[in-house]
Amino acid sequence: MQEAGIESVKVSANTEAIIRAEKIEKYYAQPSANRIQVISATDLSIVPGEIVALLGPSGSGKSTMLRMLTGLSRPSAGQVYWHEQPIAGAEINVSIVFQSFALFPWLTVLENVEAPLQARGVEPGARRDRSMKMLDTVGLDGFEAAYPKELSGGMKQRVGFARALVVEPEVLFMDEPFSALDVLTAENLRSELLELWANKTMPTKAVFLVTHNIEEAVLLADRIIVLGRNPGHIRTDFKVQIAHPRDRKSESFTQLVDYIYKVLTKPDVAPAEAPEQQTGPKVRDQRQMRYQMLPHARPGGMAGLLELLLDKGGRDDIYRLADDLTFEIDDLLPIVDAAQLLGFLKIEEGDAAITESGTEFANSEILRQKELFRGAALQNVLLLRQIRRALEAKSDHTVPEEFFLDMLDEQFSEEECLRQMETAVTWGRYAELFDFDAGRRRFILPDAQEEEIAANEEVQ
C-alpha cells in the first residue's frame, strides 16, 4: 500500500493509453451566429494504473470533458480514441458514477445493480451472483430488497458504486461522486474506494475523478489535472507522489493543497511548478498577463467575509468557511481572491488569515472603509490606478471606457473585458475613485475631487 502511488507512476510512464483525446474541443451553437466555446483544443490521456483527478471551478467544463472521454458526447472537433480506435465505433468498457446517484427509483437495490449486466445480456443467474457479490463488497449486504428512497445518501452512492463496478469497467469515471454526501460519509466512501483500488479488489485499470474539491483530489489522485475556464483548458497536469495512506495534515499534503489553491485563484498567472514533485508538472498555460484578473466580487461581500473572519479569531479554513456560509467553494473563492488582491487577507495552508489592514477595514465605519478600500485599490490594482491617473491628468477629467477596453483586450476575451470593466466600475465607485456615466460610457472624476483638483491647478 505504501508504494502504491509510486508504482503506478512507473507503470504509466511506458504504457499505452486506454483513452486518448487528441485536440478535442466542444462548442455549443447559439440562436445567434456566435457559438459558445466550452472546451478549447485539449490533449489528454488516461493510462492504466492511475487515479486521475480533473479539478476545476464550476463551469470550467469538467463534466463536458468527462462526457467526451466516455463517448457520451461527441467532441465538436478532434477525436477520442479507445485503445487507439476512434471511440464512436469502439466497444468500450467504462462506467460512470454521478453525484446525483442516478438510480432507478422503481427498482430494488439488487435490480439497480443488475441493470447494467442485463443490458449487456448477462444471463439471470450470473447477473444475480455478481450483483450480490458486489453489494457485499460495497457494504450493502442485506439491503438487496430495499428501494433507493429508503436509503441514506451514502448508501445510495454505495449502490451507485456497486452498479458501476459490477460490469468490471476498464476505466471507472466519477463526476463529483462525494459532493452530495455529508463530510463523514464522503470520507468513509473515499477511503473504501481507495482500499478497493489499492487491494486490486476491482479489476478496473484506471479511475477518472471529476471534482472541485482540492483536498479530495490530493487525497485520492496519482495525477491531477487542473482546468481553467472560458473556455476550458488544461492549466497544469502533474503527478502526486505522496505515499498512501495520505495524511491531510502532513506538510507535503498541505503544500500541494496550497499550490493548487493558488493555481485556481490566479487564473491570470501561469502556474508555478507543483512543490516537491520530481517529475514536475507540464505547465501549458503560458499566457503572459499584465493586468490582474479582477475577481468578480463586490466590496460588500469582501466586508462581510472579513467581518466573519474577524469573528472567528482572524483565521479559518476556507472550506469550513464556505460550509458555514453554505456557500459553494466556487462562490466564495472570488471574494477570498479579491480580499487577497487588496491585501486584506492572506492564504496560508488552506486557511484564510486576515491581515492588519483587513482587520482595520472590518472594524471601521463605512466612510473609513471606503477610504481604506481606496488606498488598497490604488496600491494593488493596476487598472484602477490607471483609470484614476488618466482622469486626474486630463483637463476635462473624463476618459472614455473604450480607452481602457483597448488595453484590456490584448489580454482578455471581449466578454471578459466587459466583465473586468464592470468589476472595476463597481470597485471604483465604491471607493469613490471615479464615477462612470453609463450612458456616455465615460469615466469621470467625482465632483468634489474635480473641484479640488481644479483649485490646485489654479494655485499652481
> Under the rule (CB under 6 A), what is the footprint of ligand ADP?
28, 36, 38, 56, 58-64
Radius of gyration in angstroms for the set of CA atoms belonging to the chain, rounded to a whole number: 26
CB of 63 vs Mg ion, minimal distance in Å: 3
CB of 155 vs ligand ADP, minimal distance in Å: 25
Q: Give the integer Cα–Cα distance in Å for 286 and 64.
A: 24
Longest Cα–Cα distance of the chain, Å, equals 98
- Of the candidate spans 24-32, 54-62, 187-195, 431-439, the one that interacts with Mg ion by CB under 5 A turns out to be 54-62
CB of 214 vs ligand ADP, minimal distance in Å: 14
Strands 77-82 and 85-86: antiparallel
Q: Give the integer Cα–Cα distance in Å for 113 and 155.
A: 13
- Of the candidate spans 55-63, 155-163, 441-449, 450-458, the one that interacts with Mg ion by CB under 5 A turns out to be 55-63
Q: Which is nearer to ligand ADP, 40 or 112 (CB)?
A: 40
The interface partner of residue 442, options being Mg ion, ligand ADP, none and the CB cut-off 5 to 8 Å by kind, is none
Q: Which three cell numbers stand for residue 345?
A: 487577507
Q: Which three cell numbers stand for residue 115?
A: 441493470
CB of 7 vs ligand ADP, minimal distance in Å: 30
Strands 282-283 and 233-239: antiparallel
Q: Which residue number is nearest to Mg ion in terms of Cβ?
A: 63
Q: List 224's β-bridge partners, or say none.
A: 53, 238
CB of 47 vs Mg ion, minimal distance in Å: 23
CA 352 to chain centre: 18
The interface partner of residue 75, options being ligand ADP, Mg ion, none and the CB cut-off 5 to 8 Å by kind, is none
Q: Which is nearer to ligand ADP, 36 or 382 (CB)?
A: 36
Helix axes 401-408, 414-430, angle to 10 degrees: 130
Which SS3 state, helix, strand or coil, does residue 400 take? strand
- Of the candidate spans 60-68, 224-232, 356-364, 426-434, the one that interacts with Mg ion by CB under 5 A turns out to be 60-68
Q: List 236's β-bridge partners, or say none.
A: 226, 283
The interface partner of residue 112, options being ligand ADP, Mg ion, none and the CB cut-off 5 to 8 Å by kind, is none
Q: Closest by alpha carbon to 261, among 318, 342, 339?
A: 318
Q: Which is nearer to ligand ADP, 100 or 250 (CB)?
A: 100
State which of residues 12, 63, 157, 423 lies at the interface with Mg ion (CB under 5 A). 63
CB of 96 vs Mg ion, minimal distance in Å: 12
Q: Which is nearer to Mg ion, 227 or 424 (CB)?
A: 227
Peptide bond into 295 cis (omega under 30): no
Q: Which is nearer to ligand ADP, 13 or 29 (CB)?
A: 29
* Sign of the torsion formed by the C-alpha atoms of 318, 321, 323 and 329: negative
Which SS3 state, helix, strand or coil, does residue 214 take? helix
The interface partner of residue 78, options being Mg ion, ligand ADP, none and the CB cut-off 5 to 8 Å by kind, is none
Q: Closest by alpha carbon to 224, among 246, 202, 195?
A: 246
CB of 260 vs ligand ADP, minimal distance in Å: 15
The interface partner of residue 28, options being ligand ADP, Mg ion, none and the CB cut-off 5 to 8 Å by kind, is ligand ADP
3-state SS of the chain: helix, strand, coil percent to 5?
45, 20, 35
Q: Which is nearer to ligand ADP, 157 or 230 (CB)?
A: 230
Q: How many CB atoms lie within 10 A of CB 376?
A: 21
CB of 298 vs Mg ion, minimal distance in Å: 26
Q: Give the integer Cα–Cα distance in Å for 358 and 314.
A: 9
Q: Which is nearer to ligand ADP, 60 or 357 (CB)?
A: 60
Q: Which is nearer to Mg ion, 63 or 357 (CB)?
A: 63
The residues binding Mg ion (CB under 5 A) are 62-63
